[in-house]
Structure 1
Amino acid sequence: MLGHLLLERVSLRELQRVPEPTMAMDDPAQVEAFWECGSAAGVLASTYLFNAVQTAHVIRPGDKVLDLACGPANQLVQFARLHPDADFLGIDHAASMIDRARDTVARSGVRNVALRSGDMTSLAGLADASVDCVTCTFSLHHLPEQGSLQQAFREVARVLKPGGGIYICDFGRLKRHSTQAYFAHERREQQTDLFTQDFLNSLKAAFTLADLRRAAALLGGGVGVHQTALAPFMVVLSRPTQAAASAATRDLAMKMVSELSRAQQRDFGNLSRWFRIAGLPIPLDLD
């Protein structure tokens, strides 16, 4: 991996973006493959917990949180579990994703999540300045082009209260086909062929760091833009709303980390360190 990232660092080329085949992931087989990889034993579990921990300074007790393109809700359940005193609304454009999300939420036992169909580029039914925080993970790359990316961020700015919390995470555009292929196939033995192809499609459809910075400017001040060290395999946009999380949040986060397998804990720590090297502070210091 380090070799690929070092070559990314010195590469001067920029790959053309290849948009996703469809904006909504609605094929039942794709939905099931995505859900499986995001389950407790899946390859995405450590990344989802990393994202959840990152919200420790973003989501406060009593907040109304909007989760854009929630998919099968594996990530949303992690958010809701870590913040039991906040209320979450997950929206997704794909009907089959919402159906799977309902099942995920029901099985999880969390009681602070509502779900409904919705398009992140047109948040119909949500009033101006009506939510305290907006989250979105690994979904922006499904947008067809830069105009729709900026429209989605305008809608976020519209529904979010002034100075509200933001946590948005997605892939960034890599410069080399071989690096994209490496990340897509790195854990191939732990994921289905369908998920591997979807992962590769996601990396090809990722927006550039410059694209994401331009979109982040629409959200107002205080939004930090951070990437993984050496190359923007992952990019995080965040705006904290509190300086420190409660002891209860820290204790719960530690419990959630302890529930990961040893291999997943190693992945969690490695991802945390790749972001810390690049300047993103890790809330709760759990890595």
Structure 2
Amino acid sequence: MPDLRLLSHFAREIFSRQRPQRIPEPVLLMDDPAQVEAFARAGREDGVIGQIYLLHSVQLCGLIRPGDRVIDLACGPATQLAQVARLNPQASFLGIDLAPAMLADARRHIAAQGLANVELAAGDMTDLRGIADASADVVMSTFALHHLPDTAALARCFGEIRRVLKPGGRVYLADFGRLRRDATMRFMSHRFADLQGPLFTTDFHNSLRAAFSLEDYRAAFPTLGPGLRLIPSPLAPFMVIIRSPAVQRVPQSARAEMRRLWQALPRFQRMDFEELRHAYKTRLHFIPGIR
């Protein structure tokens, strides 16, 4: 059954005229060990937002071909990166992040997963000078853009993505969109507060307040180049996805692993995954099922 409280908040979002000011996170560089640990724990496959990472992995597997070079911008503790790399063992991955504590946690996670197709490096997603022009087949990033300080930095990031992509390269970017009502932000961040802990809840709330608006994304969007889609979540832009069209069906080997991951989720997360997948079904966007 759909969460009626969530639908009620989103209905009020539609008619609200509030436009809260964007408030960048107090710590734009998430490098506090406790913050890193809380963020990593929530996103792991048995974490409270594991279904969201799986939703992104399903879509990324339609963009990544064997032999591709994939760059993950602001990879954090490599939660998304490790999952996608495991699902695509014939592609190579480079994860970059500015925060030493995040990279340290990412290295531990990659080693624990036994992944030989992933490299990690320090780097700024607005200045990829260490990466050659037209050298990447895919650029991905999840839940990182809101760490950028302003719309100028967002445009620089998009410009760098376009520079490093090969002709015909693919993009998958997903992050929060700024909601209009503070009450909705608080509801979303505290929805599973009893499961995710106070530190992650606070960081989640700060992230929603720091998110770019749909108008901000639309203004910077042309910098990425042609052929991409900007897709906000239905009813309210809680999540915004910028992506290339799929170039393949999800391989059977990846589907089997995705099914295992989905079945391992608690029931409420499986329901949340399916609700999000069906909510995103539009003429321009389709997320494959994995059951």
TM exceeding 0.5: yes
Question: Deviating runs (4+, > 6 A) in structure 1?
Answer: none
Matching residue within 229, 238, 247 for 2:234: 229
Matched, 1:270 2:275: yes
What 5-or-longer segments of structure 2 have no aligned partner? 1-5
Percent identity, aligned pairs only? 47
**Which piece of structure 1 moves more, 84-93 or 236-245?**
236-245
What 5-or-longer segments of structure 1 have no aligned partner? none
CA contact (8 A) 1:164 1:241 kept: no
3-state DSSP of counterpart to 2:281: helix
Code of the aligned partner of 1:103: R
**Map of 2:138 onto structure 1:** 133
Map Cα deviations across residues 250-281 of structure 1 (whole Å, 9 max, x no partner). Answer: 33322332232323211211221222268531
Matched, 1:286 2:290: yes
Q: Distance in 2 between matches of 1:259 and 1:215?
A: 38
Matched, 1:69 2:79: no
Q: Distance in 2 between matches of 1:109 and 1:275?
A: 33
Q: Distance in 1 between matches of 2:281 and 2:201?
A: 27
TM-score (norm 1): 0.95
**Map of 1:184 onto structure 2:** 189
Matched, 1:83 2:88: yes
CA contact (8 A) 1:134 1:156 kept: yes
Code of the aligned partner of 2:73: L
CA contact (8 A) 1:228 1:278 kept: no
- Are residues 187 and 9 of structure 1, via their aligned partners in 2, closer, same or farther at CA, if it must alter by over 3 Å? same
3-state DSSP of counterpart to 2:9: helix
**Map of 1:254 onto structure 2:** 259
Aligned counterparts, 1:214-225, within 5 A:
214-225=219-230
3-state DSSP of counterpart to 1:236: strand
- Are residues 116 and 74 of structure 1, via their aligned partners in 2, closer, same or farther at CA, if it must alter by over 3 Å? same
Cα drift, residue 96 of structure 1: 0.5
Cα drift, residue 16 of structure 1: 0.8
Aligned counterparts, 1:1-287, within 5 A:
1-240=6-245, 242-276=247-281, 280-283=285-288, 285-286=289-290
3-state DSSP of counterpart to 2:121: strand
CA contact (8 A) 1:170 1:234 kept: yes
Code of the aligned partner of 1:255: R
Q: Distance in 2 between matches of 1:143 and 1:53?
A: 26
3-state DSSP of counterpart to 2:24: coil
Q: Distance in 2 between matches of 1:258 and 1:165?
A: 29
Map Cα deviations across residues 34-71 of structure 1 (whole Å, 9 max, x no partner). Answer: 01111222111100000000112211111100000000
- Are residues 264 and 278 of structure 1, via their aligned partners in 2, closer, same or farther at CA, if it must alter by over 3 Å? farther
Q: Distance in 2 between matches of 1:147 and 1:200?
A: 23
Map Cα deviations across residues 84-112 of structure 1 (whole Å, 9 max, x no partner). Answer: 11111000000000000001111122221
**Which piece of structure 1 moves more, 253-262 or 10-19?**
253-262
Q: Distance in 1 between matches of 2:178 and 2:76?
A: 22
